[in-house]
Homo-oligomer: A and B are copies of this chain.
Amino acid sequence: MFRSLPTAAAAAACLACALPAAAQFQKPEDAIKYRESVMFVMANHLGRIGAMVQGRVPYDAAVATQNAEIVATMSHLPWPAFAESTPGSGKGKASSKIWSDRAKFDEAARKMQDEVAKLVVAARTNSLDNVKSAFGSVGQACKGCHDNFRNQ
């Protein structure tokens, strides 16, 4: 049942420009569920690379690359779902700082996307050392945003 994908991934780039968030999500809870779903899937696939980086599973260059590419696709998706003021409540949820310091949040998001793009490049070199280095930078980008924009 598992086939190769037909082609290139979608560039989510313009989705946010093409439609206002209100048109993409009928209710604030839909936006919250969407971004949390994207983050969960992204974390899962990052985790599969992390398991190789940490030596918990054998390094497999093809699998690492496949996972990095999925992470890259996901890295472009959640941002429109932060477009309205829809903070979460409770630990680990979206902080209201996202909307009070949007430029900083956008920059942190961009940093994550850039580091994930580098992870894809690193994975394609088939070098675990390259993957380890790039993975560390992705982790720092994730943490940098979470420290500032997730409820502690």
Chain A residues within 8 Å of B, Cβ to Cβ = 1-19, 23-25, 30, 33-34, 36-38, 40-41, 44, 48, 51, 57, 60, 62-63, 65-70, 72-73, 76-77, 79, 106, 109-110, 113, 117, 120-121
A5 to B17 alpha-carbon distance, docked (Å):
15
B106 contacts A69, C-beta separation under 8 Å:
no
Interface of A is mostly: helix
CB distance from A130 to the nearest CB of B (A): 15
How many chain copies does the complex carry? 2
CB distance from A94 to the nearest CB of B (A): 16
A39 to B2 alpha-carbon distance, docked (Å):
16
Residues of B within 8 A of A117 (CB): 3, 6
